[in-house]
Amino acid sequence: MKKLLILFFALGIFGSAQAQLFGVRAGLSSANFSDTNYNAKVGAHVGIYYWYEIDNFAIEPGVQFSQKGYESNEKTTGAVIDERLNYLDFPLIFRLDIIPVLNVFAGPQASFLLSRKYELAGVTSTSTDVIRGYDFGGLVGMCAYLPGGVNLQLSYDFGLTGLNYYDTDVKNQVLKISAGFDF
């Protein structure tokens, strides 16, 4: 009984030193494929996260809808190519506080292709057969905390898995700026 009571109080003290938060995050992104001369595609991202913090270290799993893709011009006609890829991202972020209001982070991310919209000269294709249906990558960035549970974040997502896009080995690259709110 005495050991059980000591364990109960030890868990209570340990539990009080941890912060657990749920939050929402949304923002703009600039996406492109690696090793191409395409133009970046502006898109949006929105999602939820769970923030589990111990002292100056935090783990943040989340789920996020994210728009990726690129813009370019067809070589022969100059017609605009607009490629929009919609993904469901599952980041697992490891955060380290540098100072109380700023942290840096990195972690892995699994992404699953939800839909595709390719437009060229008024012709649209939504087939996902031309691209791999998943992406595994990583992300790095920094986050600033503001009063009232608001945070601002700048991140860079990079694909590690070749997308086999029309049998070409390209990878997603996305620069994101976002605002979050903790509950």
> What is this structure's pTM?
0.87
Q: How far apart are CA 151 and CA 79, in angstroms?
A: 40
Q: Which CATH number do you get for residue 98?
A: 2.40.160.20
> Structural domain of residue 46, as residue ranges?
21-182
pLDDT tens digit string along 78-118? 999 999 999 999 999 999 999 989 999 999 999 999 999 99
Residue 113, in any domain of the structure: yes
pLDDT tens digit string along 53-69? 998 999 999 999 999 99
Residue 110, in any domain of the structure: yes
Residue 11, in any domain of the structure: no
Residue 122, in any domain of the structure: yes
Please give the C-alpha separations between residue 118 and each of 72, 82, 87, 143, in angstroms, as whole numbers. 11, 6, 15, 33
pLDDT tens digit string along 139-154? 999 999 999 999 999 9
Residue 131, in any domain of the structure: yes
pLDDT tens digit string along 18-32? 678 899 999 999 999
Domain count, the chain: 1
